Chains A and B, each alone.
Chain A
Amino acid sequence: MELAKNLNASVNKSFGKTDLLVDLAQSISGVILIGFLWMHMLFVATIVVSPELFDALSEGLDKYYLAQFGIPATILVIIIHIFLAGRRAPLRLRDLRITYRMASLMKHYDTWVWVGQVITALGVGIMASMHLWTILTHWPLRAATSAARVASNGPADITWGSFTFPYYVVFYVIFLIFGEYHGGFGLYRILVKWGWWERHTMGWVLKGITVIIVVLGLTALYTFTKIAANPALGGAIH
């Protein structure tokens, strides 16, 4: 009996290392993504120094196929991370209710932070897809194209008397804050689970880094709108 033989082989097997591997993979994918995010923001922030530096870096990434390889790889890691970390999220109504009730009852900081992580995860998932779509359909990424994209339908179009809602600026501000919140606290949680460090001190260090990255991102965003508005700075496209 083939079936009996198969069953015999599977029922005697210990549950094994699946839970360990899945948990480890979740943490590793998280670390990779936060590493990517911080690097990404540092690269974007080169625009603050000069559009030439931004272009040189961007061209370098294209030339050595780092972008062509990196973007699909990142998408893959994001998808893996959604599946791995998603299994922790309270998605059933019953679990949501328990989470909300306990968090409200206890008023416990870290528990609420985690609820925020679940919410920002949803936001980041949606906005990352939108972001990928807009950058991939406006390839290549250069100071001028990025500035035009950021400022389109926004600051560059504003004339007194006719206000245009700055969709892209608002989008990027929310995306930046959501992404950094989710990633920053995600790394905190990974280190709490695996690390040797006292979590309150570590939390403040990570909050510091997160604030720096958010400020860098906002400065970059501001610089892009300036470039778009001023053809002399390389914003001629708009």
Chain B
Amino acid sequence: MAEQVQVSGQSKGKLHKQWKTDLVGLAFIAPWLIGFLCFIIGPMIASLYFSFTNYDLLTEPTWIGLGNYIQMFTNDVRFIQALKVTLIFVFVSVPLKLAFALFVAMLFNTKRKGVGIYRTLYYIPSILGGSVAIAVVWKQLFGRDGAINDILSVFGIPSISWVTSPDFALSTLILLVVWQFGSPMLIFLAGLKAIPTELYEAAAVDGANPFHQFFKITLPMLSSVIFFNLVMQTIQGFMTFTQSFLITQGGPMDKTLFYAVYLYEKAFGHFDMGYASALAWVLLIICAIFTAFIFRSAGSWVHYESEGGK
């Protein structure tokens, strides 16, 4: 190893020492670095190249320039549909999920007894909700003969098949995702616990009602946590696959054709790898725009404490 090299002279020794540290550091991060180069950077460059080609995995890729992208935006109604469905899904499910998570977290931010058990109870759907089992069950739960219709019939609401109805299929999937609000809830809860109670006491003395306290103290103090949750949930939302694939297969009439499902269909159903790569790059750009937008706007609404900020 490099450690055996003789050292002579002060500056040379220092230089040598930095080299040694570099080697040690790189050795430690080597697993990630290899993965990063071979499985992230390499593939990204490759997929950018494929996105300009026609490639079916069996024959060599043929260069078609911007062909895939032009096709996508001018001549592919299903792409537009997938984009629309995914945007609606993200815009509805993310705010709903975060609002609900914050609401429940505020309920749990108390010294009352039993909160530990409640937290567990409310977190269980998040543990199981992403599984194939729950997807399979959801389909039956909201099916024509499922439990939901059984309950609704008590109130005289006629039975419909929620998962195969063009009007309700997407809402059913949104409900499934919002149901798994556990992780943002826990993050909000930790954030709420970090807000000094003196702030509320002082505000109460000054006559601020709970409504004011929420908007003037809770929200600003939580803004960095909201920011984190917003970024993570938005990206996750764009990537949602399993639920749509298993419950509705993108249907009925492409009403739940999520972007990831369409991409999967193109890549592994039709083996149109070039087109699918172009889809992947468009997704990346959309995610980047959204993230950049959230980051840029963060300056105006995310409040960091003077110490310990990011």
Report if A and B associate in a common complex.
no
**B-binding residues in A (CB < 8 A):** none
